[in-house]
Amino acid sequence: MTAVAMLIASTAIAASARADGSDSFGLATQPPMGRPLPGLTASERELFDIGRSLYVTPLLPEDGLGPIFNKSNCQSCHSTPAPGGWGNIAVTHFGYDDKGKFENLENLGGPLLQTQAIAPGCGEFVPDAANTVIVRVTNSSMAFGLIEAIPDAAIAANEDPADGDGDGVSGRVHWVAPLEDPMGSPLRAGRFGWKAQVATVLSFSADASRNEMGLTNRLIPTENAPNGDFDLLSECDPVPDPEDIPDGDGFDFIDRVTHFQRYLGPPPQTPRSGMTGETVFAAVGCTACHVSEWTTADDPSLEAAIRNRTIRPYSDFLLHDMGLLADGFPDGDASGQEMRTPVLWGLRTRDPMLHDGSAAGGTFEDRAAAAIAAHGPFGEGAASAAAFAALPQAEKDQLLAFLGSLGRLEFDHDGDGDVDLLDFTPFEACFHIDSTISPDDPCAVSDIDQDGDVDLDDFQLFKTAYLRDGGEIGDCDDDGIDDLEAILTGLATDRDGDGVPDDCAACSGDLDASGAVDGGDLTIILANWGGKGTGDLDGSGTVDGGDLTIVLANWGTCP
């Protein structure tokens, strides 16, 4: 059995043993980025899990990696905040522009530069003939199945190539032929990639597998020759093409990673609606391109988890003239001045922003403001950039706060991407607020049902999110009321913030309940070092030196 086959088998066994238990948490909460779509069947969830395993596992030369490539696995380019997310990896494209007539220099290895090779002497470089060299960073592949399921006609209904309404925005569809249907009958509305040059998830997987990893497949069976040198290719590529062949279940690698990307859930948005900043976002014209809401096709051939679903990606998936923000590099029917409107869901987690990564570092607000400013002074985004610049600071802050909700996890008060004890303290403070909580209030992060208060209904969902992210909830006095609820409702105090009522923590550090703080407890601390949950005595969210200090300070027999 090959290494890949063993990986598939072990993942399938683990998925079967789980019996879908991991989906029992948070049925009414939005999953974190990188988690599967809610509502998948057991067999679909198994496909997701196997696909994820292959997505993160490096290919080897004997599997078909190379001979020239950029990365050896999909996750290397799609990694933040989880497999399938954004990337900060820049890929280089090169070509030749002769007074507006553009050549991809395919005979010299263009238009994509592969920066690595499986052996010395097999690599490639930007040829001297290239006078146009650009970089693009990686988009996320979150919820690709939902995006693919948006009807072509719905995307086309938003195009206005002649700017008939006079708003300065004239987007158009990039019609493309999927790789799995090269005759293009009919053409499909492109929606993936910076130039909307890809219409389907399978096409995306096949293209990236061959061009980024060098894995030839049934849709692209020919290899990239280093700088177009086919004699060198014959010396450097020992694996027969196509290199991607079916596994024991009849699926190719490109099918497996398509399953994973197809079944990835959408990024969370918290609060889900009602922020003043979204109204400001619309008022300055951003929604002319960043269309908030779509409904996937009501097609019986689609999986139930994908069919007829309302999604909020904040993109029209059309090509627009972006003025100075354009990359100057044509792709298919997209000109050098045109870029596809990127999705904004999950934006909170994106660093860097923009196609060239030029809005990078600093705070989220810094990056988002820089990205907005880069839409001017020319092109279809210029009016919105100018309108944003003219806003009072309070309204700018509201708009940026709305953008910060795109990708924010429910109950994640500290914004670190998970729900832990550090989020329980602000939840507790919000729980005791008597006034109405609006979507603009910081406490709205915990008002999940958006009924204007944080109450026990929200707390039940807090617990599912807390358990989902590795937290533990006990009932130290066995009274039938869990510790966090006792603390929240005032039945118990928790002065040290460790999630355990003070009355039950008379011997802090006795993690194994042996009646003494000793080597057994020290072993637990060291075994969980750097993690969260068991051993986190000080409630910091991480097992670290603070917890070790508590154990050493209480060493000996419990009183």
The answer to whether residue 16 scores a pLDDT higher than 50 is no
Contact 477, 501 (CB under 8 A): yes
Cα–Cα nearest to 551, from 294, 541, 357, 534: 534
Q: What is the pLDDT of residue 495?
A: 78
> Residues for the chain: how many in total?
559
Higher confidence at residue 493 or residue 108? 108
Q: What is the pLDDT of residue 165?
A: 86
Eight-class DSSP state of 61: G
Checking 511-520 for CB contacts under 8 A at 24+ apart, the result is: 511/535, 511/537, 511/551, 515/557, 515/558, 516/556, 516/557, 516/558, 517/551, 517/554, 517/555, 517/556, 517/558, 518/555, 518/556
Q: Is 216 helix (H, G, I), strand (E, B) or coil?
A: coil
pLDDT in tens, 449-482: 999 999 999 999 999 999 999 999 999 888 999 9
First to last CA, the chain: 57
CA separation, residue 251 to residues 79, 218, 385 (Å)? 24, 11, 47
Helix ranges (DSSP H) in 122-245: 144-148, 152-156, 201-213, 230-236
CA separation, residue 136 to residues 73, 93, 433, 491, 541 (Å)? 18, 8, 46, 55, 36
Contact 33, 142 (CB under 8 A): yes
pLDDT in tens, 343-384: 999 999 999 999 999 999 999 999 999 999 999 999 999 999
The answer to whether residue 508 scores a pLDDT higher than 80 is no
Q: Give me the chain's average pLDDT, please.
A: 92
pTM to 2 decimals? 0.87
Q: What is the pLDDT of residue 12?
A: 45
Q: What is the pLDDT of residue 559?
A: 65
Q: What is the pLDDT of residue 188?
A: 97
Which segments within 118-258 are labelled E, that is strand? 132-137, 175-176, 188-189
Q: Averaged over 105-121, what is the pLDDT?
A: 97
Contacts of 467 (CB under 8 A, 6+ apart): 25, 473
Q: What is the pLDDT of residue 534?
A: 81
Q: Which of 141-145, 432-436, 508-512 has the lowest average pLDDT?
A: 508-512
Q: Averaged over 65-75, what is the pLDDT?
A: 98
CB atoms within 10 A of CB 62: 12
Domain ranges across the chain? 3-158+181-266
C-alpha–C-alpha distance, residues 187 and 199, integer Å: 9
The encoded tokens of residue 543 equal 């097992």
Q: Given pLDDT bands bounded at 50, 70 and 90, which one contains residue 24?
A: very low
Q: Which of 100-114, 313-327, 528-542 has the lowest average pLDDT?
A: 528-542
Contacts of 297 (CB under 8 A, 6+ apart): 149, 150, 151, 307, 308
Q: What is the pLDDT of residue 505?
A: 65
Higher confidence at residue 533 or residue 29? 29
Q: Given pLDDT bands bounded at 50, 70 and 90, which one contains residue 537?
A: confident
pLDDT in tens, 405-445: 999 999 999 999 999 999 999 999 999 999 999 999 999 99
Chain position carrying tokens 């729980």: 431
The encoded tokens of residue 523 equal 């072993």
User: How open is the CA angle 378-161-92, to the nearest 5 degrees?
Assistant: 60
Rg (CA), the chain: 26
Q: Quick one: what percent of the chain has pLDDT higher than 90? A: 82
Q: Which residues lie across from 133 on neighbouring strands?
A: 94
Contact 242, 217 (CB under 8 A): yes
The answer to whether residue 21 scores a pLDDT higher than 50 is no
The answer to whether residue 25 scores a pLDDT higher than 50 is no
Cα–Cα nearest to 123, from 209, 226, 222, 223: 226
Contact 297, 475 (CB under 8 A): no
C-alpha–C-alpha distance, residues 227 and 67, integer Å: 12
Contact 554, 508 (CB under 8 A): yes
Q: Is 86 exposed, middle or buried (0-12, 13-18, 19+ CB in 10 A)?
A: buried
Q: What is the pLDDT of residue 26?
A: 37
Contacts of 447 (CB under 8 A, 6+ apart): 271, 430, 437, 441, 453, 454, 458
